[in-house]
A and B are shown apart, each in its own frame.
Chain A
Amino acid sequence: MPVMTAPEPVRHDRVKSAAERAAIDASCRGPVLVFASSAVFWLLMGSMLALIASFKLHIPYFLTGSPELTFGRVRMAHLQSVGIGWASLAAVAACLWLMCRLSRAELMYPKMLYLAGALWNIGVFLAVFGIIFGAGQSVEWLDAPPYAPPFFVAALGIVSAWTVAVFRRRREPHLYVTQWYILGAIFWFPWLYLVAQFTIFWAPVTGVVQPIVNWWFGHNVLGLWFTPVALGSAYYLIPKIIGRPIHSYYLSIIGFWSLALFYSWAGMHHLIGGPIPAWLATASTVGSMMMFIPVLAVAINHHMTLLGHFHRLRYSPALRFTVFGAIAYTLVSFQGSLMALKEVSKTAHFTHYIVAHAHLGAYAFVTMIFFGLFYYMIPRLTGREWVSSVLIRIHFWCAAVGITTYFAALSIGGWWQGRMMNNPDIPFARIVMYTQPHLLTRSLAGLLLTTGHIAFAISFVMNLAGWGKQRSGGPTLFVEPQATYPPGPPSL
């Protein structure tokens, strides 16, 4: 592979282009920081709720005094806090910032987006605390009490409209693949959410159609909201950080369109073995298998782009998190496609194995990519370096070791749990006892993850508070200028 070299850019062009980039970043600074900082808040909140839920599974008498802290409520509150709170707010921040940069257009009327941020946060607050105080609804992923959704709908409407408005004002004629993903996401998510609200709560369908709509929604939130935004972010950051265009742009476009085509078919794989028409589940299994196409397209592309540049992982925090997330995307999708086979589902369904898969997707893939994005985006918005390499390294290693342990413990425990549950000769209580050490390991992994989150939050708040070294004006490169730094071995 020949090394790409560009002609030496003319200084004047460089300054002009840097000024344009800085002006675009400045135009979306306020709203993006509002979404990003509230995302970090809900990540911390979600971690606390997760730890309580996790400890309760192996210490049954932990916090039994109050109905507010029963497992059922705390677990649902965790899901809302990290799903609609952290991951969705981070996704909105990503959509806004990436769309402005890639369209080379400034954000207009940012005040409406402050309103959207406020509405969204009120919605998450009502969802999380509504559930804790007993108003949750037993529809997974849509368990927020009925008074929360209107806030999301209003906020989503504004966010989608503003993202499209930026796109329409674009100065860059070419649509980069990330923009395809973002446009897909901001079109799909409001539509999914509205249809699901409508058919489950406002004009409820009955009987078996209800779980079908429920899982069509639940699955597509993952695949047509979190996944495209996270993949879009990786498609921007990996080439940008290493300074090398994506290996095959053609493949990336194929990847986008095949995701759009196949993912929405796959939702019924959550109901394999359930009382739904057999052809529906089979169609979803086929859709899940077809997902190998976009997944392979992404995997090959990212790998080939990085080839020869893996050493950059030592230097760039954003790249580390993003590449970790991109690898996890391949793993979670391969695993998911196999789980959609009836033979595998027979063992894995209703076990901790699914929770392991859920976190491989929602954490190792989506959350890690958003961490990477934040490490790249926030300094460019505030004009300040991160204050401490040590905090970033603590975050990375806690997250990487934590989620790997989490996944391994629950995958092994969950698989054997499923095998035992399918054997009528094994008493249920024995299976419960068998899972205990695995659940304890998950809690320890959770403590590690939470430690990482706290390190991340400290870095984040310090950056916002103006602690880092100032970097305004010139190019947005966050690389020290040549020869001002004494060389030494980089630490991991």
Chain B
Amino acid sequence: MTPPDIALLATVVGSIVLFGGAAAIALGWAFRDGQFDNFDQGSKSIFGPDEPVGEATDAFPGINVEVEEATAPW
């Protein structure tokens, strides 16, 4: 084997170990930490009292979504 071959082999094997190992550790940690215990709660973690579920948070400048929706033809 030439030095480049060895370098390549080391990179490939190293990558598999590092990469696969990291994924396995991350998945194991997530299970232990209870990340997959309550999916419903997880999906709501991006909302808060200031931006609660049920409230739109973006509009073109000057547009009031609530007024638009109340007066929309549909």
Q: Which residues of A contact B (CB under 8 A)?
A: 3-6, 9-10, 13-18, 21, 102, 172, 174-177, 183, 187, 191, 195, 198-199, 203-206, 209, 236, 239-246, 248-250, 252-253, 257, 260, 311-312, 314-319, 375-376, 385-389, 392, 468-469, 475-485, 487, 490
Contacts and interface: CB of A to CB of B under 8 A. Distances in A.
Given A250-B39, A311-B72, A475-B51, A191 B19 contact: yes
Contacts of B30: 175
8 contacts: A6-B54, A16-B49, A174-B41, A203-B3, A242-B56, A243-B52, A245-B53, A480-B64
Contacts of B40: 245, 249
Interface of B: 3-5, 7-8, 11, 15, 18-19, 22-23, 26-27, 30, 35-36, 39-72, 74
A376 B56 CA distance: 12
A244 B53 contact: yes
A206 B48 CA distance: 55
Contacts of B47: 6, 240, 243, 245
A14 B49 contact: yes
Contacts of B23: 260
A203 B4 CA distance: 6
Given A187-B22, A311-B72, A479-B65, A21 B48 contact: yes
Nearest to B30: A175
Given A5-B53, A316-B60, A485-B64, 9 more contacts: A5-B54, A6-B53, A177-B42, A205-B4, A240-B51, A315-B59, A389-B61, A479-B63, A482-B66
A6 B43 contact: no
Contacts of A468: 61
Contact of B57 (A195, A250, A257, A477): A477
B57 A239 contact: no
Nearest to B40: A249
Nearest to A391: B61
> In the complex, which of the residues A174, A475, A478 has the most CB atoms of chain B within 10 Å of its own CB atom?
A174
A312 B56 contact: yes
Contact of A244 (B5, B54, B60): B54
Contacts of B51: 17, 21, 240, 243, 475-477
Contacts of B42: 174-177, 249
Given A475-B51, A487-B70, A246 B43 contact: yes
A9 B19 contact: no
Contacts of B67: 480, 482-483, 485, 487
Given A386-B61, A389-B62, A482-B67, A199 B11 contact: yes
Contacts of A481: 64
Contacts of A183: 26
A468 B60 CA distance: 12
Contacts of B60: 315-317, 386, 389, 392, 490
Given A174-B42, A176-B42, A242-B56, A312 B65 contact: yes
Contact of B35 (A102, A174, A199, A387): A174
Nearest to A322: B58
Nearest to B22: A187
Given A239-B46, A487-B71, A4 B64 contact: no
A199 B8 contact: yes
A316 B59 contact: yes
Contacts of A9: 49-50, 52
A484 B36 CA distance: 43
B23 to A, nearest CB: 6
A240 B44 CA distance: 10
A175 B26 CA distance: 12
Contacts of B71: 487
A477 B27 CA distance: 35
Given A9-B49, A249-B40, A476-B50, A241 B56 contact: yes
